[in-house]
Protein backbone atom coordinates (compact mmCIF):
# COMPACT_ATOMS: atom_id res chain seq x y z
CA UNK A 1 0.00 0.00 0.00
CA UNK A 2 1.04 3.57 -0.57
CA UNK A 3 1.80 5.99 2.26
CA UNK A 4 -1.70 7.47 2.71
CA UNK A 5 -3.34 4.06 2.77
CA UNK A 6 -0.74 2.66 5.12
CA UNK A 7 -1.36 5.52 7.56
CA UNK A 8 -5.12 4.99 7.38
CA UNK A 9 -4.72 1.27 7.97
CA UNK A 10 -2.30 1.62 10.86
CA UNK A 11 -4.19 4.45 12.61
CA UNK A 12 -7.23 2.29 13.26
CA UNK A 13 -5.67 -1.17 12.99
CA UNK A 14 -8.32 -1.84 10.37
CA UNK A 15 -9.30 -5.50 10.49
CA UNK A 16 -10.01 -5.96 6.78
CA UNK A 17 -6.65 -4.77 5.42
CA UNK A 18 -5.68 -8.24 4.22
CA UNK A 19 -8.99 -8.74 2.46
CA UNK A 20 -8.81 -5.33 0.82
CA UNK A 21 -5.37 -6.00 -0.60
CA UNK A 22 -6.52 -9.42 -1.85
CA UNK A 23 -9.55 -7.81 -3.51
CA UNK A 24 -7.37 -5.16 -5.10
CA UNK A 25 -5.01 -7.73 -6.59
CA UNK A 26 -7.91 -9.90 -7.74
CA UNK A 27 -9.55 -6.93 -9.45
CA UNK A 28 -6.35 -6.09 -11.30
CA UNK A 29 -5.95 -9.70 -12.44
CA UNK A 30 -9.58 -9.97 -13.60
CA UNK A 31 -9.27 -6.57 -15.25
CA UNK A 32 -6.32 -7.81 -17.29
CA UNK A 33 -8.53 -10.62 -18.60
CA UNK A 34 -11.27 -8.17 -19.56
CA UNK A 35 -8.80 -5.82 -21.24
CA UNK A 36 -7.36 -8.65 -23.33
CA UNK A 37 -10.78 -9.63 -24.62
CA UNK A 38 -11.73 -5.97 -25.12
CA UNK A 39 -8.65 -5.28 -27.26
CA UNK A 40 -8.74 -8.53 -29.24
CA UNK A 41 -12.55 -8.94 -29.56
CA UNK A 42 -12.03 -12.68 -29.24
CA UNK A 43 -15.08 -13.52 -27.17
CA UNK A 44 -18.44 -15.20 -27.67
CA UNK A 45 -21.70 -13.49 -26.73
CA UNK A 46 -24.68 -15.29 -25.23
CA UNK A 47 -27.85 -14.07 -23.50
CA UNK A 48 -29.24 -14.64 -20.02
CA UNK A 49 -32.53 -12.97 -20.90
CA UNK A 50 -33.93 -9.82 -22.46
CA UNK A 51 -31.29 -7.08 -22.68
CA UNK A 52 -28.90 -9.14 -20.53
CA UNK A 53 -25.87 -10.32 -22.54
CA UNK A 54 -23.01 -12.38 -21.17
CA UNK A 55 -19.63 -13.07 -22.75
CA UNK A 56 -16.66 -15.40 -22.53
CA UNK A 57 -14.87 -12.58 -20.70
CA UNK A 58 -17.50 -12.56 -17.91
CA UNK A 59 -17.01 -16.26 -17.23
CA UNK A 60 -13.22 -16.29 -17.37
CA UNK A 61 -12.92 -13.26 -15.08
CA UNK A 62 -15.41 -14.83 -12.67
CA UNK A 63 -13.48 -18.09 -12.45
CA UNK A 64 -10.27 -16.20 -11.75
CA UNK A 65 -11.88 -14.08 -9.03
CA UNK A 66 -13.37 -17.13 -7.36
CA UNK A 67 -10.01 -18.89 -7.36
CA UNK A 68 -8.25 -15.91 -5.79
CA UNK A 69 -10.88 -14.72 -3.31
CA UNK A 70 -13.03 -17.69 -2.38
CA UNK A 71 -9.96 -19.89 -2.62
CA UNK A 72 -7.96 -17.49 -0.47
CA UNK A 73 -10.71 -17.11 2.13
CA UNK A 74 -12.61 -20.41 2.03
CA UNK A 75 -14.48 -19.63 5.24
CA UNK A 76 -16.22 -16.71 3.52
CA UNK A 77 -19.35 -17.10 1.42
CA UNK A 78 -19.50 -16.39 -2.31
CA UNK A 79 -22.10 -14.60 -4.42
CA UNK A 80 -21.33 -13.73 -8.02
CA UNK A 81 -23.45 -12.91 -11.03
CA UNK A 82 -21.76 -15.65 -13.05
CA UNK A 83 -21.58 -18.41 -10.42
CA UNK A 84 -24.56 -20.67 -9.64
CA UNK A 85 -25.80 -19.76 -6.16
CA UNK A 86 -26.02 -22.85 -3.94
CA UNK A 87 -27.28 -20.90 -0.90
CA UNK A 88 -24.28 -21.76 1.29
CA UNK A 89 -23.49 -18.04 1.61
CA UNK A 90 -26.63 -17.55 3.72
CA UNK A 91 -24.91 -19.43 6.55
CA UNK A 92 -21.77 -17.27 6.42
CA UNK A 93 -21.08 -14.11 8.42
CA UNK A 94 -18.75 -12.69 5.77
CA UNK A 95 -19.50 -12.99 2.06
CA UNK A 96 -17.70 -11.90 -1.10
CA UNK A 97 -20.19 -10.30 -3.52
CA UNK A 98 -18.76 -10.00 -7.01
CA UNK A 99 -19.62 -8.86 -10.52
CA UNK A 100 -16.71 -9.89 -12.77
CA UNK A 101 -17.89 -7.57 -15.55
CA UNK A 102 -20.42 -4.88 -14.69
CA UNK A 103 -21.31 -3.03 -17.86
CA UNK A 104 -21.29 -5.93 -20.32
CA UNK A 105 -23.28 -3.95 -22.89
CA UNK A 106 -20.67 -1.18 -22.84
CA UNK A 107 -17.92 -3.80 -23.08
CA UNK A 108 -19.49 -5.26 -26.21
CA UNK A 109 -20.03 -1.81 -27.77
CA UNK A 110 -16.43 -0.77 -27.12
CA UNK A 111 -17.34 1.90 -24.56
CA UNK A 112 -14.74 1.98 -21.74
CA UNK A 113 -17.31 2.23 -18.94
CA UNK A 114 -17.24 -1.28 -17.51
CA UNK A 115 -15.62 -2.54 -14.32
CA UNK A 116 -14.69 -5.42 -12.11
CA UNK A 117 -16.71 -5.02 -8.89
CA UNK A 118 -15.78 -6.75 -5.61
CA UNK A 119 -17.31 -6.30 -2.18
CA UNK A 120 -17.03 -7.99 1.18
CA UNK A 121 -20.03 -7.91 3.49
CA UNK A 122 -20.23 -8.74 7.17
CA UNK A 123 -23.60 -9.51 8.75
CA UNK A 124 -25.25 -7.96 5.69
CA UNK A 125 -23.27 -4.70 5.76
CA UNK A 126 -20.79 -3.77 3.00
CA UNK A 127 -17.43 -3.36 4.75
CA UNK A 128 -15.09 -3.01 1.78
CA UNK A 129 -15.30 -2.44 -1.94
CA UNK A 130 -12.96 -2.50 -4.93
CA UNK A 131 -14.07 -1.30 -8.36
CA UNK A 132 -11.62 -1.38 -11.25
CA UNK A 133 -11.94 0.07 -14.75
CA UNK A 134 -9.20 -1.75 -16.69
CA UNK A 135 -9.32 0.48 -19.76
CA UNK A 136 -9.08 3.79 -17.90
CA UNK A 137 -6.76 2.21 -15.31
CA UNK A 138 -8.89 3.53 -12.44
CA UNK A 139 -8.80 1.57 -9.20
CA UNK A 140 -11.31 2.60 -6.53
CA UNK A 141 -10.73 0.85 -3.20
CA UNK A 142 -11.80 1.38 0.37
CA UNK A 143 -13.82 0.33 3.34
CA UNK A 144 -15.94 1.61 6.19
CA UNK A 145 -13.61 2.85 8.93
CA UNK A 146 -10.67 2.90 6.52
CA UNK A 147 -11.51 5.51 3.90
CA UNK A 148 -11.79 5.61 0.13
CA UNK A 149 -8.84 5.77 -2.28
CA UNK A 150 -8.51 6.16 -6.04
CA UNK A 151 -5.20 4.82 -7.30
CA UNK A 152 -3.90 5.08 -3.70
CA UNK A 153 -4.85 8.79 -3.37
CA UNK A 154 -7.45 9.68 -0.69
CA UNK A 155 -10.91 10.44 -2.06
CA UNK A 156 -14.21 11.64 -0.64
CA UNK A 157 -17.71 12.47 -1.79
CA UNK A 158 -18.47 15.97 -3.05
CA UNK A 159 -19.78 18.86 -0.97
CA UNK A 160 -22.54 19.95 -3.38
CA UNK A 161 -25.69 20.82 -1.43
CA UNK A 162 -28.27 21.81 -4.05
CA UNK A 163 -29.73 19.88 -6.96
CA UNK A 164 -29.34 22.90 -9.24
CA UNK A 165 -25.57 22.65 -8.90
CA UNK A 166 -25.45 18.85 -8.87
CA UNK A 167 -24.25 16.40 -11.49
CA UNK A 168 -26.27 13.20 -11.32
CA UNK A 169 -25.15 10.05 -13.11
CA UNK A 170 -27.84 8.22 -15.04
CA UNK A 171 -28.12 4.83 -16.68
CA UNK A 172 -27.45 4.81 -20.42
CA UNK A 173 -30.32 2.37 -20.90
CA UNK A 174 -32.73 4.46 -18.83
CA UNK A 175 -31.86 7.71 -20.59
CA UNK A 176 -32.20 6.08 -24.02
CA UNK A 177 -35.73 5.02 -23.01
CA UNK A 178 -36.54 8.59 -21.99
CA UNK A 179 -36.89 7.78 -18.30
CA UNK A 180 -34.78 10.77 -17.19
CA UNK A 181 -36.56 13.47 -19.21
CA UNK A 182 -38.52 14.62 -16.17
CA UNK A 183 -35.34 15.31 -14.19
CA UNK A 184 -33.20 17.12 -16.76
CA UNK A 185 -34.37 20.60 -15.84
CA UNK A 186 -33.63 20.14 -12.15
CA UNK A 187 -29.95 19.22 -12.36
CA UNK A 188 -27.17 18.21 -14.74
CA UNK A 189 -27.71 14.64 -15.90
CA UNK A 190 -24.82 12.60 -17.33
CA UNK A 191 -25.28 9.11 -18.77
CA UNK A 192 -22.63 6.55 -17.75
CA UNK A 193 -22.51 2.79 -18.23
CA UNK A 194 -22.23 0.29 -15.36
CA UNK A 195 -24.01 0.77 -12.06
CA UNK A 196 -20.88 -0.11 -10.11
CA UNK A 197 -18.85 2.45 -12.06
CA UNK A 198 -21.38 5.21 -11.41
CA UNK A 199 -21.30 4.47 -7.70
CA UNK A 200 -17.49 4.54 -7.66
CA UNK A 201 -17.46 7.93 -9.39
CA UNK A 202 -19.84 9.31 -6.76
CA UNK A 203 -17.61 7.93 -4.00
CA UNK A 204 -14.62 9.66 -5.59
CA UNK A 205 -16.42 13.01 -5.73
CA UNK A 206 -16.43 13.09 -9.53
CA UNK A 207 -20.23 13.29 -9.49
CA UNK A 208 -22.70 14.13 -6.75
CA UNK A 209 -25.21 11.29 -6.86
CA UNK A 210 -26.91 8.58 -8.86
CA UNK A 211 -30.24 6.82 -8.53
CA UNK A 212 -32.38 4.24 -10.25
CA UNK A 213 -35.95 3.10 -9.77
CA UNK A 214 -35.16 -0.16 -11.57
CA UNK A 215 -34.48 -3.18 -9.33
CA UNK A 216 -30.80 -4.15 -9.20
CA UNK A 217 -28.97 -7.23 -8.01
CA UNK A 218 -26.69 -7.17 -5.00
CA UNK A 219 -23.58 -7.75 -7.15
CA UNK A 220 -24.39 -4.59 -9.15
CA UNK A 221 -24.22 -2.31 -6.14
CA UNK A 222 -22.32 -3.91 -3.23
CA UNK A 223 -18.84 -2.64 -4.12
CA UNK A 224 -20.10 0.86 -4.87
CA UNK A 225 -22.15 0.99 -1.69
CA UNK A 226 -19.06 0.13 0.35
CA UNK A 227 -17.03 2.81 -1.43
CA UNK A 228 -19.64 5.54 -0.96
CA UNK A 229 -20.05 4.75 2.73
CA UNK A 230 -16.26 4.71 3.12
CA UNK A 231 -16.06 8.09 1.37
CA UNK A 232 -18.64 9.73 3.66
CA UNK A 233 -21.73 9.42 1.47
CA UNK A 234 -25.10 7.75 1.80
CA UNK A 235 -26.79 4.79 0.08
CA UNK A 236 -30.38 3.61 0.56
CA UNK A 237 -32.98 1.71 -1.39
CA UNK A 238 -35.79 3.70 -3.03
CA UNK A 239 -37.82 3.44 0.18
CA UNK A 240 -35.10 5.29 2.08
CA UNK A 241 -34.03 2.15 3.94
CA UNK A 242 -30.44 0.94 4.41
CA UNK A 243 -29.61 -1.90 2.03
CA UNK A 244 -28.96 -5.25 3.70
CA UNK A 245 -26.83 -7.60 1.62
CA UNK A 246 -26.54 -11.38 1.42
CA UNK A 247 -30.27 -11.91 1.47
CA UNK A 248 -32.00 -14.93 -0.02
CA UNK A 249 -33.42 -12.78 -2.80
CA UNK A 250 -30.58 -10.80 -4.38
CA UNK A 251 -32.85 -8.15 -5.90
CA UNK A 252 -32.82 -4.64 -4.41
CA UNK A 253 -35.78 -2.35 -5.30
CA UNK A 254 -33.71 0.44 -6.84
CA UNK A 255 -31.42 2.77 -4.94
CA UNK A 256 -30.40 6.33 -4.19
CA UNK A 257 -26.68 7.00 -3.68
CA UNK A 258 -25.36 10.46 -2.93
CA UNK A 259 -22.86 12.62 -1.11
CA UNK A 260 -25.36 12.70 1.75
CA UNK A 261 -26.21 16.39 1.42
CA UNK A 262 -28.50 15.72 -1.56
CA UNK A 263 -30.18 12.58 -0.33
CA UNK A 264 -33.40 14.04 1.03
CA UNK A 265 -33.85 16.28 -2.01
CA UNK A 266 -33.37 13.33 -4.36
CA UNK A 267 -35.85 11.20 -2.46
CA UNK A 268 -38.35 14.03 -2.72
CA UNK A 269 -37.65 14.47 -6.41
CA UNK A 270 -38.30 10.86 -7.32
CA UNK A 271 -41.21 10.52 -4.88
CA UNK A 272 -39.64 7.56 -3.12
CA UNK A 273 -42.45 5.65 -1.37
CA UNK A 274 -41.72 4.95 2.29
CA UNK A 275 -42.36 1.51 3.77
CA UNK A 276 -44.90 1.39 6.54
Contacts of 64 (CB under 8 A, 6+ apart): 26, 29, 30, 33, 100
Q: What is the pLDDT of residues 53-103, one digit of tens each?
A: 889 999 999 999 999 999 999 999 999 999 999 999 999 999 999 999 999
* 49, part of any domain: yes
- Whether the predicted pLDDT of 231 surpasses 90: yes
* 275, part of any domain: no
Backbone angles phi, psi at 114, to 5 degrees: -130, 155
pLDDT: which is higher, 178 or 94: 94
- Whether the predicted pLDDT of 2 surpasses 80: no
- Whether the predicted pLDDT of 276 surpasses 50: no
Predicted TM-score of the model (pTM)? 0.93
- Over residues 14-40, mean pLDDT: 96
* 14, part of any domain: yes
Domain span holding position 235? 163-270
Backbone angles phi, psi at 119, to 5 degrees: -135, 155
Q: What is the domain count for the chain?
A: 2
Residues 146, 171 within the same domain: no
CATH of the domain at 215: 3.40.190.80
Please tell me the predicted confidence (pLDDT) of residue 212.
94
Residues 238, 127 within the same domain: no
Note the helical H segments in the chain.
Answer: 3-12, 17-40, 56-65, 71-72, 104-109, 172-176, 195-203, 218-230, 263-270
- Over residues 203-210, mean pLDDT: 98
Please tell me the predicted confidence (pLDDT) of residue 185.
81
* 276, part of any domain: no
Please tell me the predicted confidence (pLDDT) of residue 10.
55
Residues 145, 203 within the same domain: no
Q: Indicate the burial class of 168 (C-beta count within 10 angstroms; 0-12, 13-18, 19 or more).
A: buried
Amino acid sequence: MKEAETAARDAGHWKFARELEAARQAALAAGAILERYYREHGYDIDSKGKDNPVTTADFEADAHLKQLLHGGFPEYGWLSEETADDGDRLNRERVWIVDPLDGTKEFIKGIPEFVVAIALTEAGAPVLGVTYNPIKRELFAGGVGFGCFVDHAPAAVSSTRTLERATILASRSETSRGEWKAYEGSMTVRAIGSVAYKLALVAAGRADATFTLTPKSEWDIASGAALILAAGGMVTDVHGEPIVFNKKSVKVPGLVASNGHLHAALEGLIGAPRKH
